[in-house]
């Protein structure tokens, strides 16, 4: 087992050495800079590629503990992330401190630890301590329909607006789109929430039937029914409300609201005198 481990160690070391030689441009040698990588030049005396001035292969080619070699793209020494040699190495909202770390400027934050209030968080957009959703320091921290309740640092709905149903009346609900209180289904705020044949009852906040219109048959006379298209009471078949509901030889009898033949006219022989009959074409007694 020990012999096998030793063989594996040697193979690993061999791979590392091979990789270093390849990176350094030694395989195959060179006769000009064109034979090397962009960050190398050709040592024509030894026919090997070597680093150009200002470039690096690894961190060991960089001076100072705050620098690292960018081996993925430029092969230049750059300041390590989060470290700095001056303010220019930091973000615009940071400053380079005495320990060569980029720190947040006064009024800015690096993370939650820089925010001391329980209602704050460090915004990744502004890099400032911002109030958590629903909390505020001023009206600008709230939504357009809200104001900041300073003593509680809480955003609350302005007068006439709402966030939840409980901020509305019993027959209302809060609209998630407009944040106004609107009538619940089956209720109304005003006549505009009702159909043309209804009005909004201010006591019940329900749509009620206007005088002269109907919603159900019981709102009509006993010889009428409610036409659900026009919401008007209309005569049942065989009944009439006015003469207009009868044929031109008939009139509407107010006693039982039925059409009866006018004097001298007829619908049946019974409407005629003895020994006469009713001509059903003319509706005259012959």
144, part of any domain = no
Instruction: Tell whether 279 and 248 lie within a shared domain.
Output: yes
151, part of any domain = no
pTM, whole model, 2 decimals? 0.46
**Of 60, 79, 98, which one is at a domain's C-terminal end?**
79
pLDDT tens digits for 103-131? Answer: 999 999 999 989 878 889 999 999 999 99
Instruction: Tell whether 66 and 92 lie within a shared domain.
Output: no
pLDDT tens digits for 226-236? Answer: 999 999 999 99
Query: By residue range, what is the domain housing residue 41?
Result: 22-79
**Of 59, 79, 99, which one is at a domain's C-terminal end?**
79
114, part of any domain = yes
Report how far residue 56's alpha carbon sits from residue 52's, in angstroms, rounded to the nearest whole number: 8
Euclidean distance between the first and the last CA atom of the chain, given in angstroms as a whole number: 135
233, part of any domain = no
How many domains is the chain built from? 3
53, part of any domain = yes
119, part of any domain = yes
Looking at residue 219, its pLDDT comes to 94
Looking at residue 127, its pLDDT comes to 95
Report how far residue 130's alpha carbon sits from residue 137's, in angstroms, rounded to the nearest whole number: 9
More confident residue, 26 or 28: 28
Q: Taking all residues of the chain, what is their mean pLDDT, rounded to a whole number?
A: 88
Structure tokens belonging to residue 119: 């209602």
């Amino acid at each position: 087992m020990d012999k096998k481990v030793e063989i594996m160690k040697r193979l690993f070391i061999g791979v590392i050495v091979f990789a270093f030689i390849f990176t350094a441009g030694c395989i195959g040698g060179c006769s000009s800079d064109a034979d090397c990588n962009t960050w190398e030049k050709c040592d024509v005396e030894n026919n090997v590629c070597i680093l150009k001035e200002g470039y690096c292969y690894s961190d060991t080619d960089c001076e100072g503990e705050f620098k690292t070699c960018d081996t993925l793209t430029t092969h230049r020494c750059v300041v390590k992330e989060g470290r700095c040699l001056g303010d220019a190495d930091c973000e615009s909202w940071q400053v380079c401190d005495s320990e060569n770390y980029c720190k947040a400027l006064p009024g800015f934050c690096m993370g939650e630890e820089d925010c001391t209030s329980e209602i704050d968080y460090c915004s990744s957009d502004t890099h400032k301590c911002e109030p958590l959703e629903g909390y505020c320091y001023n009206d600008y921290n709230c939504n357009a329909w809200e104001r900041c309740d300073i003593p509680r640092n809480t955003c609350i709905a302005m007068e006439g607006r709402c966030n939840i149903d409980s901020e509305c009346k019993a027959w209302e609900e809060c609209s998630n789109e407009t944040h106004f209180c609107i009538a619940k289904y089956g209720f109304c705020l005003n006549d505009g929430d009702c159909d043309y044949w209804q009005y909004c009852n201010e006591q019940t906040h329900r749509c009620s039937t206007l005088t002269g219109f109907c919603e159900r048959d019981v709102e009509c006379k006993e010889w009428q029914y409610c036409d659900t298209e026009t919401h008007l009471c209309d005569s049942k078949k065989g009944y009439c409300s006015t003469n207009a509901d009868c044929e031109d030889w008939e009139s509407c009898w107010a006693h039982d609201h039925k059409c009866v033949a006018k004097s001298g006219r007829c619908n049946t022989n019974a409407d005629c005198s003895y020994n006469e009959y009713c001509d059903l074409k003319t509706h005259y007694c012959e």
